[in-house]
Amino acid sequence: MARYADPGLVDWVESGGGPLVVVPAAVLNLWEGADSEGPESDYDRACAVSGYARLLAVGPAQALVLGDEPSSTAFLPEHAVFVRWVAAESEADLLGGVGAALADAAWEDRQVWDVPGPVVLFDSAWPGSEVEPDNHTRVDLPAGRYEVRAALAHSDADTAFQLIQLLPLR
């Protein structure tokens, strides 16, 4: 069974072992990763997060920490969802189950995220000022308030993934 993403249908972001983080581009340079000076680094704060997704302060904004496991993660704009690879035989098997899972998910970890505009998904150990083309994904979110909700989904006995969906609030 494949544990990590294969190149193919979408761009996956990998972690070196810690959580992934989604930081607004407007405050990206404020995320210091594991390089923070002080008693607790941004990476330490991200590692302390429990659950599938939690918000952390980054300057005047908030970052979304994708917790639980350091799973390969992609953003699917057609569903406004981060999908996190837990287990699947192939990328196609995993992605093929997302649509039905969104309709049937047992959503939890609901919270409201004020987003000032585009965000960047990357390994929380990296400083935001050092993201490079091959270690992150930019998501062009419109500025606004979003309900963040998370769920663990199984599309069959061999395929499991986490969903972190962003729903615009009016």
pLDDT in tens, 152-166: 999 999 999 999 999
Write down the mean pLDDT value for the chain: 91
Looking at residue 35, what is its pLDDT?
85
Q: Establish how many alpha carbons lie within 13 A of residue 168's alpha carbon, considering only the half-sphere containing its beta carbon.
A: 10
Looking at residue 14, what is its pLDDT?
92
Tokens standing for 28?
């990206």
How do the domains of the chain map onto residue ranges?
Answer: 20-168
CB 18 within 8 A of CB 123: yes
CB 112 within 8 A of CB 146: yes
If pLDDT is split at 50, 70 and 90, which confidence band does 132 have?
confident
Looking at residue 7, what is its pLDDT?
55
